[in-house]
C-alpha cells in the first residue's frame, strides 16, 4: 500500500471545521515534490510553509498551492553531522529576520 503525505489547513466557521489541502498529496520521495515523514511545521507571516521532512533529512520551504518545494536545509535523502546535513530534523522555527532554527534530533 502506497503512503501519501500532505499538508492540511483547518479553519472553523460557525462551528463547522473545514479542511483544505495546501500541499500534496505527495508520495515518499527525495525529489522536491516528494514528502516523507513530518516532524515540524512553521508558517511565516507571508504564508510560506517550512516543513521538517524528517525521513529525508531536510527542511523544505513551500509556497502554498505550489507543485514543488525548495530545500533550504539538509541534503535530500542523506543524513549526516556536517554543517550542511541533518539527521531526522524535528521542530523548526523562523525568526523575524528569516533565520531558520532546526532541532536536529540525532546529531
pLDDT in tens, 3-32: 788 888 999 999 999 999 888 778 887 888
Q: What's the predicted TM-score (pTM) here? A: 0.86
Mean pLDDT value across the chain: 89
52: pLDDT strictly greater than 80: yes
pLDDT confidence bin for 72, thresholds 50/70/90 = very high
Residue 92's φ and ψ, nearest 5 degrees, are -135, 155
Beta carbons within 10 angstroms of residue 14's beta carbon: 4
pLDDT at residue number 14: 96
Question: Residue 59 pLDDT > 90, yes or no?
Answer: yes
Amino acid at each position: 500500500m502506497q503512503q501519501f503525505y500532505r499538508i492540511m489547513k483547518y479553519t472553523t466557521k460557525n462551528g463547522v471545521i473545514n479542511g483544505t489541502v495546501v500541499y500534496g498529496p505527495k508520495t515518499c520521495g527525495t525529489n522536491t515534490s516528494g514528502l516523507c515523514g513530518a516532524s515540524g511545521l512553521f508558517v511565516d507571516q507571508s504564508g510560506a510553509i517550512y516543513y521538517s521532512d524528517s525521513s529525508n533529512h531536510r527542511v523544505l520551504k513551500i509556497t502554498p498551492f505550489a507543485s514543488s518545494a525548495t530545500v533550504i536545509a539538509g541534503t535530500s535523502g542523506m543524513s549526516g553531522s556536517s554543517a550542511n546535513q541533518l539527521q531526522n530534523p524535528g521542530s523548526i522555527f523562523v525568526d523575524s529576520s528569516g533565520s531558520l532554527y532546526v532541532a536536529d534530533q540525532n546529531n
